[in-house]
Copies of this chain bind each other. A is one copy, B any other.
Amino acid sequence: MITIKDIAERAGVSYATVSRALNSRADVSPETRNRILELAKELGYQPNAIARSLVKRKSEMVALIVPDVSNPFFSDITMSVNEAAEEAGYTVVVCNTGWDEKKEADKLRIMQEQRVDGIICKPVNELSQERLKEINVPIVLFWHAQPDDISYIEVDHEAGGKLAVRHLIERGYKKIAYLGGKLTSQSNQIRMDAYKRSLIEGGLEVREEWINNGGFSMESGYQRIGSMFRLSDPPDAVFCGNDIIALGVLQYARDHGLNVPRDFGIIGFDDISYASLPQVRLSTISQPRDKLGRQAFEALLTEMDVYPNHAAQKILVEPELVVRGTT
């Protein structure tokens, strides 16, 4: 591997001069500059970013830590964060926690050891105060974070929940169920609360047996709606905590000959790409992933700017109702 010293030797200058030329600083004579640049190209010189990072104390890398890259929602987010980062000259390290808090802690640690300049993270559960204390790097969360000094960005789940339930009510459904994700998920909580409130506002009853929280998977949705249909008084519509769950429900409906949306209404949350597929056409609450990703990165940028102070940005992105075939 060839270094600036090699170039310096051949050019007959000190390696400090090479460094200056390569970084196109003004205080180098055009002649030596060009000579060095040519030599660098000729020798196939590749700057060592590691060495540079060490002295500059900046890696030009940011970490994106998500629970599941293969989940379309997060892969869209990954995409848009990547785009924004690239424009700003940053490289993104994508980490997968697999919804495992231990792994999450590991990734958080590893990324700090790698001295990334900042972290964007969708935590599995709420990050404890201790864990937050341990993080001494600019960070932006996809989460309704409580601490004042932490920046977050999120969709307005409250508004989203209302949107969904009101829509169901307008469509004439009377027995609306909620099939949520993990109970520990705060956004799930918020959606569920909005669900309950909207039900009451709409003059409908809140029935505990129509509320169920569990995994964020198709299988889980399939299973859980199945149990609900075995109730003596089953629901006639369901608001799902995310589209994946809704897809499971749709599959169940299909397998059991239910007519959607006539006999049973389904609305999801997220608007993942599946949702718009032919013969899926899931009604849902759209989270604008491109906006989320971009804004998250921009928030991180300003956070990095003011670090170690905090910009404390609290960004709430408005969701949107998308009506398709299942309601």
A76–B70 CB distance below 8 A:
yes
Contacts of A92 in B (CB 8 A): 93-94
Interface members, chain A 58-100 (any B CB < 8 Å)? 59, 61, 68-70, 72, 75-76, 78-79, 82-83, 91-96
Tell me the A265-282 residues at the B interface (CB within 8 Å).
274, 277-280
Are B59 and A70 in contact (CB-based, < 8 A)?
A: no
Distance A255 CA – B48 CA, assembled complex (angstroms): 55
Answer yes or no: A19 CB below 8 A from chain B CBs: no
Assuming the contacts A69-B75, A78-B94, asked whether A47 and B113 have C-beta atoms less than 8 A apart, the reply is yes
Q: Which of A226-250 contact B (CB under 8 A)?
A: 247, 250
Q: Give CA–CA (A46, B136) in the complex, Å.
A: 10
| A72-B70, A93-B91, A94-B92 known; A277+B49 contact, CB < 8 A | no
A110 to B46, CA, bound (A): 9
Chain B residues with CB under 8 A of A113: 46-49
Cα(A76)–Cα(B280), bound, Å: 22
A1 to B57, CA, bound (A): 11
Q: Known contacts being A94-B94, A251-B278, is A115 close to B69, with CB within 8 Å?
A: no
**In the docked arrangement, what's the CA distance between A48 and B70, Å?**
30
CA distance A182 to B281 in the complex (A): 29
For A43, the chain B residues whose CB sits under 8 A away are none
Q: Per-residue CB proximity of A277-295 to B under 8 Å, as 1/0?
A: 1111000000000000000
- Ranked nearest first, the 6 interchain pairs of A and B with the lowest CB-CB distance are A279-B279, A251-B278, A75-B75, A70-B79, A94-B94, A49-B113
Residue contacts A-B, CB under 8 angstroms, 23 given: A46-B112, A48-B54, A48-B113, A49-B114, A50-B53, A50-B114, A50-B115, A61-B93, A61-B114, A68-B79, A69-B82, A69-B94, A70-B78, A72-B72, A78-B94, A91-B110, A247-B278, A250-B278, A250-B279, A251-B278, A254-B278, A274-B277, A277-B277
Binding site for B on A (CB under 8 A): 1, 44, 46-51, 53-54, 59, 61, 68-70, 72, 75-76, 78-79, 82-83, 91-96, 109-110, 112-115, 134, 136, 247, 250-251, 254-255, 274, 277-280
